[in-house]
């Protein structure tokens, strides 16, 4: 019988797979946080304490990771997370125009969920895809912003996530 509310059997199974790969239990914190985020769309505060208990690490270690990396959030994420690169190559490729079109189509603002809870937009420094600037991610899917010729084509991409 599992004594945890947020560390479900499937997450515990993934933790154990991780522990087989890495010699230190601390190395399983970030992968496990990704699994928790995927399952709950946020990091429930209680999950931090459960993970700390399970891995036998101080809760402050996990809290430090959650508060440092902006991919982890305590608030509910929208169903779809859009990350738009704003670094120099994407800036020169006019990421701002892409951003305005995405905001118009989704109803979301940067750093906020859309009113329907479907979209969250985040500007990031780099996603490592300068060759396809302005690059953006929807969830974990990478898109070449340079190939999007009009707002209808962008709408077709976004519609895949509804």
Q: Per-residue pLDDT tens for 18-35?
A: 999 999 999 999 999 999
Answer yes or no: pTM beyond 0.75. no
pLDDT one-digit tens code per residue, 83-131: 999 999 999 999 999 999 999 999 999 988 899 999 999 998 888 899 9
CB 8 within 8 A of CB 50: no
CA proximity to 90, closest of 139, 123, 138: 123
Residue matched to tokens 């993934």? 14
Q: Encoding tokens for residue 59?
A: 């809760």
* E strand segments, 28-138: 80-85, 119-124, 135-138
Q: Encoding tokens for residue 102?
A: 């995405």
């Amino acid at each position: 019988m599992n004594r945890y509310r947020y560390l479900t059997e499937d997450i515990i199974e993934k933790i154990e797979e991780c522990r087989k790969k890495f010699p230190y239990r601390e190395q399983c914190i970030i992968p496990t946080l990704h699994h928790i985020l995927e399952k709950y769309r946020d990091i429930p505060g209680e999950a931090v304490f459960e993970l700390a208990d399970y891995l036998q690490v101080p809760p402050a270690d996990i809290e430090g990771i959650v508060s440092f990396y902006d991919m982890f959030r305590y608030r509910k994420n929208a169903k779809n997370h859009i990350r738009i690169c704003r670094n120099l190559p994407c800036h020169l490729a006019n990421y701002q125009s892409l951003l305005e079109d995405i905001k118009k189509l989704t109803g979301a603002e940067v750093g906020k969920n859309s009113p329907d809870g479907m979209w969250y937009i985040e500007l990031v420094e780099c996603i490592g895809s300068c060759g396809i600037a302005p690059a953006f991610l929807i969830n974990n899917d990478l898109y070449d912003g340079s190939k999007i010729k009009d707002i209808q084509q962008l709408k077709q991409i976004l519609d895949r996530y509804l």
